[in-house]
């Protein structure tokens, strides 16, 4: 029998089933009335819906379990690297992710509309560590030669992280899920930012200072007749009108105290001083060394250090959920971001 005949037979069978089902439904509707036919048709729906919901719930639970296992495994690897290699031979950073600004509205994720710190990463030079371990067993220090200097023990961190990230996208997605409940990430839409712990602590301190001044922010917003969450441009429009009306030289019924209060409220809400910034990059003003990684260079490291082989780099991540202060400071901010697009 020709191959085309084999393909045609199932097609005829499927069409017959559909037609037969429709015929039975039509006969029932004719014999017992349209309402009965409709009732029979709708009875199967709840069962199907329940089965579909159960399958989706099972898949979600499996994905969550897998994500938590990934986070746990790489966390143990992180601690092992730091313990066995020593912090002096490692580079540690805080990794943040953000959704690309040009993604379609229907796939935007509110909490990723700004940089979301999700984990710390550690990189170390395996070859340097193995050499150090070998000589240590011999009771010797690592000899310094023209080809091997002690400076090489300290890995060139940012290029090493940039080289390794493409191989750990699943772990990045797991970190975002565990920290902020972000699901179904399209990693092609993700951007990556990196900074050392000293820089990140500046951001944490700045955000904590803003959080501690919540009462002052609320009072300032009430004075101006705006919301604390309003965009700076919207606050500025209101401020310009109020400050013009409250200027003592223009309005004899106002006072210098009221004029100053309006000015102070505006400056507080729009973030002047060391706690400046309504974005993650703006936290801590100029005392940060946060850098957005260029994805066009992913998978490639600097040639002059010889870091071209991923197998020569020890790499691991550890979730930020273990740091209570970071969680406390960023939770409210992340919730506000999540509400931007309701995701």
Task: Give the range among 39-48, 54-63, 178-187 with minimum mean pLDDT.
Answer: 39-48
Q: Which residues contact 71 (CB under 8 A, 6 or more apart)?
A: 171, 174, 175, 178, 317, 319
The domain tally of the chain equals: 1
**Residue 201 clears pLDDT 90, i.e. is over it:** yes
Would you say residue 245 lies in a domain?
no
Asked if 95 contacts 317 with a C-beta cutoff of 8 angstroms, the reply is yes
Whether 137 maps to a domain, the answer reads: yes
- Flag whether pLDDT at 317 surpasses 90: yes
pLDDT digits (tens, 9 = 90+) for 22-32: 444 444 555 55
Distance, in Å, from the CA atom of 308 to the CA atom of 176, rounded to the nearest integer, reads: 28
Question: Assign residue 225 a region: left if phi > 0, alpha if psi is -120 to 50, beta otherwise?
Answer: left
**pLDDT at res. 13:** 39
Over 80: is that where the pLDDT of 273 sits? Answer: no
- Mean residue pLDDT of the chain comes to 79
Q: Residue 76 contacts by C-beta under 8 Å, 6 or more apart in sequence?
A: none
Contact by Cβ (8 Å): 254, 246: yes
Judge whether 172 lies within some domain. Answer: yes
pLDDT tens digits along 72-94: 999 999 998 888 777 887 899 99
Cα–Cα–Cα angle for 275, 180, 194, nearest 5°?
Answer: 55
Q: How many CB atoms lie within 10 A of CB 115?
A: 22
Residues ≥6 apart with Cβ < 8 Å to 226 = 234, 235, 238, 269
- 42 pLDDT more than 60: no
Angle at 205 between CA 232 and CA 191, to 5 degrees: 65
> pLDDT confidence of 126, banded at 50, 70, 90?
confident
Confirm whether 316 is domain-assigned.
Answer: yes
Q: Is residue 117 part of a domain?
A: yes
pTM above 0.75, yes or no: no
Range of the domain at 142: 59-209+292-338
Task: Give the separation between CA 14 and CA 132, rounded to whole angstroms.
Answer: 70
Highest mean pLDDT among 115-124, 157-166, 270-279, 282-291: 115-124
In which band, very low, low, confident or very high, does the pLDDT at 303 lie, cut at 50, 70 and 90? Answer: very low
Report yes or no on 41 lying in a domain. Answer: no
Q: Is residue 251 part of a domain?
A: no
Per-residue confidence (pLDDT) for residue 196, from 0 to 100: 94
Asked whether residue 10 is domain-assigned, the answer is no
Higher pLDDT, 173 or 285: 173
pLDDT value at residue 188: 93
pLDDT tens readout for residues 91-120: 999 999 999 999 998 999 999 999 999 999
């Amino acid at each position: 029998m020709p191959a085309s005949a084999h393909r045609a037979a199932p097609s005829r069978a499927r069409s017959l089933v559909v037609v037969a089902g429709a015929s039975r439904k039509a006969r029932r509707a004719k014999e017992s009335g349209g309402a009965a036919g409709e009732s029979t048709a709708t009875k199967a729906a709840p069962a199907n819906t329940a089965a579909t919901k159960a399958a989706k719930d099972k898949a979600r639970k499996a994905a969550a379990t897998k994500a938590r296992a990934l986070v746990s495994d790489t966390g143990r690897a992180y601690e092992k690297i730091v313990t066995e290699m020593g912090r002096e031979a490692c580079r540690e950073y805080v990794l943040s992710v953000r959704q690309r600004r040009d993604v379609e509205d229907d796939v935007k994720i509110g909490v990723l509309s700004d940089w979301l710190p999700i984990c710390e990463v550690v990189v170390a030079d395996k070859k340097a560590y193995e050499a150090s371990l070998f000589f240590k067993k011999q009771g010797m220090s690592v000899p310094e030669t023209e080809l091997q200097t002690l400076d090489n023990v300290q890995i060139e961190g940012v290029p090493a992280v940039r080289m390794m990230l493409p191989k750990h996208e699943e772990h990045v997605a797991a970190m975002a899920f565990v920290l902020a409940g972000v699901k179904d990430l399209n990693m092609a839409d993700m951007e990556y930012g990196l900074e050392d712990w000293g820089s990140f602590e500046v951001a944490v301190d700045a955000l904590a200072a803003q959080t501690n001044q919540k009462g002052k922010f609320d009072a300032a917003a009430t004075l101006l007749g705006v919301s604390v969450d309003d965009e700076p441009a919207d606050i500025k429009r209101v401020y310009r009108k109020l400050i013009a009306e409250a200027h003592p030289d223009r309005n004899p019924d106002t006072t210098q105290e009221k004029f100053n209060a309006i000015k102070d409220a505006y400056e507080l809400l729009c973030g002047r001083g060391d706690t400046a910034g309504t974005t993650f990059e703006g936290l801590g003003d100029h005392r940060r060394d946060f850098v957005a990684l260029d994805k066009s260079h992913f998978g490639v490291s600097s040639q002059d250090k010889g870091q071209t082989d991923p197998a020569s780099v020890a790499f691991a991540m550890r979730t930020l959920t273990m740091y209570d202060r970071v969680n406390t400071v960023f939770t409210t901010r992340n919730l506000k971001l999540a509400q931007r697009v309701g995701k």
